[in-house]
Structure 1
Amino acid sequence: MKRFILIFLVLISTLVIFSIDNQYFNEEFKRSFFFFWEQANINEKSSGYGLIRDRYPGNPNVASIASTGYGLAAIPIGIEKGWISYEEGYTRVNKTLDTLLNLKNIRGFFYHFLDINTGKRIWNSEISTIDTSILLCGVLTAGEYFGGEIKEKAEKLYKNVNWKMFVDKSTNYFYMAFYPEKGFSGKWDFYAEQLMMYILAAGSPTYPINEDVYYSFKRHEGNYKSKKFIHSWFGSLFTYQYSHAWIDFRNKKDKLGVDWFENSVNASIANYNYCVDLSNKFKSFSKDRWGLSACDSPNGYNGLFGAPPSGYNNKQHKVDGTIATSAALGSIVFTPDLSLKALNAFYKISGLVGKYGLKNAFNLDKNWIANDYIGIDKGIILLMFANYENEFVWKLFNKNQYIKNGLKRLEIQ
């Protein structure tokens, strides 16, 4: 009898733990979706219809082309989860694609930041290769889901992009940006979040790149109490996540033997280990609270936050005790147990959860919690949660023939 009671109590305990995880997971999942649904321009008389805010509640008139890309991928998720109807989602996507087809661009590439009402360039922002790539991933995801005229419009946007124009022929590196006032700027010479760009470009039926562009960027290895992996310059966790939100790299290697999925697993573990090691120095960090990535901070937005390895000497990353909530959660497919524990820990921090779930960041040493939600950070949470739950975005996006062609051309099989 005592043994039966003990087994019963263990089962009840397990169910309680699962229900708590499930409660927070579903709440964050749903609230993240509604950021994209509610923070879009839905004025049908506006030339910026469908564009989605870069952040909320800050900068109410500024849309981000990348946030819009995440938002387009969010709509199929919302339909399948029953949060919106098919008809609502279809109409929103269809009209948003019309907006995009009419936006000013340069050889198919779009400006990073736009006026949400007019669709015009704002802040003298750059034509961005990576943000356009994120947009196109969202566009193609929606095209695969809805088919028909939406797929036709999605493919038109994709085929318009002249990838070759944005490659520096002397180095085979993609340029990061273009400014009408001063020309090209920056180069993707080091590993980061740009893997999607090579696959999109290699699969293009109109302006395909040579595979040498993919195999030319620097692959520098390092580790931090983890297996060695190819790391990004600042060690920000988002750099190991964004391309993986769309492309299923599991059980794939390129011709150099690189497994990008395992690479991100090791990068996530290194980020976690570094945070744990700093838990005696910063109140924000603990065995359950972790995640260093570009985010808001008590001193403003900082794109240098990250963990070692970084640069060539492990001195390029910055840390001030600020944790980005999207960092651990965006790694849920790589480190599910650690990420779910972080989710539970984050939801217990007073003031960190609001209208759209977890706010961007927190710093317990400064008694500071971010005021804003940032679109790209809510986006990586949303899409990775969908992949963790049932591989939804992976299955949808990787059905696309151009993505299949891109992977094949780059010999990532």
Structure 2
Amino acid sequence: MRFKILLYLLTITMLSACVSSTKKSNSSDADGNLKLTDEQLLDKVQYQTFQYFWDGAEENSGMACERIHLDGIYPHKDQHIVTLGGSGFGVMAILVGVERGFISREDALKRYQKIVKFLAQADRFHGAWPHWLNGKTGKVKPFGKKDNGGDLVETAFMIQGLLAVAEYYRDGNAEEKQLVSEIEKLWHEVEWDWYTKGENVLYWHWSPEYDWEMDFPVGGYNECLIMYILAAASPTHAVQPEVYHEGWTCNGAISNDTVYYGLPTILNYYEHGDDPIGPLFWAHYSYLGLNPNGLKDRYADYVELTTNHAKIHYKYCVDNPKEFKGYGANQWGLTSSYSMKGYSGHHPGDSDLGVIAPTAALSSFPYTPKESMQFLRYLYTEADSLIGKYGPFDAYSHTSKWCKPRYLAIDQGPIPVMIENYRTGLLWKLFMKNKDVQNGLKKLDFVVDSNSNENKRLADDK
């Protein structure tokens, strides 16, 4: 549901397209990748995407740049702007870097100290950060004319990441425990209840200049589940269960599912358009820390929800009803990303423009490991012109012969995190371990089955 991004960025005019070949590259890199095992390929893509948040971070804040364009062309000269949600994904990616041996625990701690210090001094609005900040000053960078205040959704993505970091360092040395204390202070200062406006629903935005004029109550299934769970979990500014059951679920209408490509959608995606399924980032953003395996409430079985979401995208691209070039078993997955004319919300149906974003399939590894591996191997052995220093470029279209050497933090971040959740469950284990999160889930009547098949596999592989 990144419609506000779409409205704001659709006006960006992209320069002439670069042609990407569907044929196997002759480069030595592609030849070398042919010899890599599946595990080695996973290591490689995790390392490259992690580097977006490590070497590619904004120098002063340590936060994630909103975008990195290797062609050096930036819309609105925003190369110094950092993003809250993407940085939340990034702090989780840094944990992947530690566990995979890309960086040391001590180096990660120093980066986290820089990020947390920046966040504590940056503009906040009733505890919520804005969507964008100036990485050098900590001042709000308006995301749109009236979007110059608190963004509760982006704040939730950041808090999700920080709580995982806090669990990682909780039993560490004195310096690490101090970091945990500083993270918890930020967590406790978010006024989730303020963003209800006294109603049984959470609102996305508030601005000291425009008050509630953005008027965006968040309800119906999308990427924002994590916001409601954190709002219920807050030990200082919690919302009541009615906010979830009435606002988020639209008084239960969220359960009005359908069948698409032979699979039940589990929840109702129609709240946000005429197509029966949404972009794939809806199955990623809230689940970087929130483990869908064994997670149920009165509305859904969440592993079935997310798995069916990914499988529907796969089946749709194999079917390829619009006959776009390249779509098939090795190239699939649609999500909000760059496109030929700016940023667009791609998903099966009318919103399919023939653009594939690698983050869609790669971040779906926990749900579709075989199909996601097919796509990963295609990229690195047959289409390595679509890959740069920070991993696969944001999006491409063989039909339009279009690709740009450009990245977005919100698309790169889920890749190393969700792959790690598939491999070891690292971020799921950390986030779900948090006592406040456990209390929030219980408060909303979620049931967590730690003995689910996938959770047992991850425990056995530990």
- TM-score exceeds 0.5: yes
What is the match of residue 159 of structure 2?
Answer: 136
Q: Percent identity?
A: 31
What is the match of residue 181 of structure 1?
Answer: 209
Does the C-alpha gap of structure 1 residues 261 and 105 become closer, same or farther in structure 2, counting only changes over 3 Å?
A: same
What is the match of residue 222 of structure 1?
Answer: 258
Alpha-carbon separation, structure 2, partners of 1:72 and 1:281: 39
Does the C-alpha gap of structure 1 residues 74 and 350 become closer, same or farther in structure 2, counting only changes over 3 Å?
A: closer
Alpha-carbon separation, structure 2, partners of 1:128 and 1:253: 27
What is the match of residue 53 of structure 2?
Answer: 36
Among candidates 197, 210, 220, match of residue 240 of structure 2: 210
Q: How does 1:142-161 map to 2 (within 5 A)?
A: 142-147=165-170, 148-161=177-190
What is the match of residue 75 of structure 1?
Answer: 94
Does structure 2 retain, via aligned residues, the 8 Å contact 1:284–1:362? no
Which residue type is aligned with residue 394 of structure 2?
N
Which residue type is aligned with residue 292 of structure 2?
F
What is the match of residue 288 of structure 2?
Answer: 245
Give 5+ residue unaligned stretches, structure 2: 1-32, 171-176, 448-462
What is the match of residue 96 of structure 1?
Answer: 115
How many residue pairs are counted as aligned between the two chains? 382
Alpha-carbon separation, structure 1, partners of 2:189 and 2:369: 38
What is the match of residue 311 of structure 2?
Answer: 269
What is the match of residue 401 of structure 1?
Answer: 435
Does structure 1 retain, via aligned residues, the 8 Å contact 2:294–2:302? no
What's the offset of the Cα at 1:19? 4.2
Which residue type is aligned with residue 192 of structure 2?
W
SS of 2:315 mapped into structure 1: helix
What's the offset of the Cα at 1:279? 6.2
Deviations 1:162-207 (A, max 9, x none): 111111444x221122233322221212111111111111111111
What's the offset of the Cα at 1:252? 2.1
Does structure 2 retain, via aligned residues, the 8 Å contact 1:279–1:286? no
Alpha-carbon separation, structure 1, partners of 2:347 and 2:294: 27
What is the match of residue 299 of structure 1?
Answer: 341
What's the offset of the Cα at 1:79? 1.2
Which residue type is aligned with residue 223 of structure 1?
V
SS of 1:296 mapped into structure 2: strand
Does the C-alpha gap of structure 1 residues 261 and 18 become closer, same or farther in structure 2, counting only changes over 3 Å?
A: farther
What's the offset of the Cα at 1:42? 3.1
Answer 1 or 2: higher relative contact order, Cα 8 Å, separation at least 6.
2
Deviations 1:18-37 (A, max 9, x none): 94422321111110111100
Alpha-carbon separation, structure 2, partners of 1:52 and 1:118: 15
Does structure 1 retain, via aligned residues, the 8 Å contact 2:53–2:63? no
Does structure 2 retain, via aligned residues, the 8 Å contact 1:223–1:270? no
What's the offset of the Cα at 1:358? 0.5
Alpha-carbon separation, structure 2, partners of 1:393 and 1:52: 19
Alpha-carbon separation, structure 1, partners of 2:263 and 2:336: 23
What is the match of residue 325 of structure 2?
Answer: 283
1:389 and 2:408 are equivalent in the alignment: no
SS of 2:202 mapped into structure 1: strand
Deviations 1:189-243 (A, max 9, x none): 2111111111111111111111122222231412311321214335111012211
What's the offset of the Cα at 1:352? 0.4
Does structure 2 retain, via aligned residues, the 8 Å contact 1:284–1:323? no
Which residue type is aligned with residue 262 of structure 1?
E
What's the offset of the Cα at 1:350? 4.2
Deviations 1:91-116 (A, max 9, x none): 11012111111111011101101112
Which residue type is aligned with residue 347 of structure 2?
G
What is the match of residue 6 of structure 1?
Answer: none
Among candidates 185, 191, 195, match of residue 225 of structure 2: 195
What's the offset of the Cα at 1:72? 1.4
SS of 2:54 mapped into structure 1: helix
Does the C-alpha gap of structure 1 residues 163 and 374 become closer, same or farther in structure 2, counting only changes over 3 Å?
A: same
Does structure 2 retain, via aligned residues, the 8 Å contact 1:237–1:267? yes
Does the C-alpha gap of structure 1 residues 124 and 322 become closer, same or farther in structure 2, counting only changes over 3 Å?
A: closer
Among candidates 96, 103, 115, match of residue 84 of structure 1: 103
SS of 1:138 mapped into structure 2: helix
SS of 1:38 mapped into structure 2: coil
SS of 2:206 mapped into structure 1: strand
Q: How does 1:5-44 map to 2 (within 5 A)?
A: 19-43=36-60
Alpha-carbon separation, structure 2, partners of 1:91 and 1:335: 35
Alpha-carbon separation, structure 1, partners of 2:124 and 2:416: 28
Aligned-pair Cα RMSD in Å: 1.8
Q: How does 1:239-388 map to 2 (within 5 A)?
A: 239-254=282-297, 256-278=298-320, 281-302=323-344, 304-307=345-348, 317-347=350-380, 348-388=382-422
Which residue type is aligned with residue 230 of structure 1?
L
Alpha-carbon separation, structure 1, partners of 2:299 and 2:142: 42
What TM-score do the two structures reach when normalised by structure 1? 0.88
SS of 2:385 mapped into structure 1: coil
**Most deviating of 160-169 and 352-361:** 160-169
Does the C-alpha gap of structure 1 residues 284 and 114 become closer, same or farther in structure 2, counting only changes over 3 Å?
A: farther
Does the C-alpha gap of structure 1 residues 36 and 352 become closer, same or farther in structure 2, counting only changes over 3 Å?
A: same
What TM-score do the two structures reach when normalised by structure 2? 0.79
Alpha-carbon separation, structure 2, partners of 1:399 and 1:149: 19
SS of 1:301 mapped into structure 2: strand
Alpha-carbon separation, structure 1, partners of 2:306 and 2:191: 29
Alpha-carbon separation, structure 1, partners of 2:244 and 2:88: 23
Give 5+ residue unaligned stretches, structure 1: 1-15, 44-48, 309-316
What's the offset of the Cα at 1:289? 0.6
Alpha-carbon separation, structure 2, partners of 1:281 and 1:373: 27
Does structure 2 retain, via aligned residues, the 8 Å contact 1:231–1:267? no
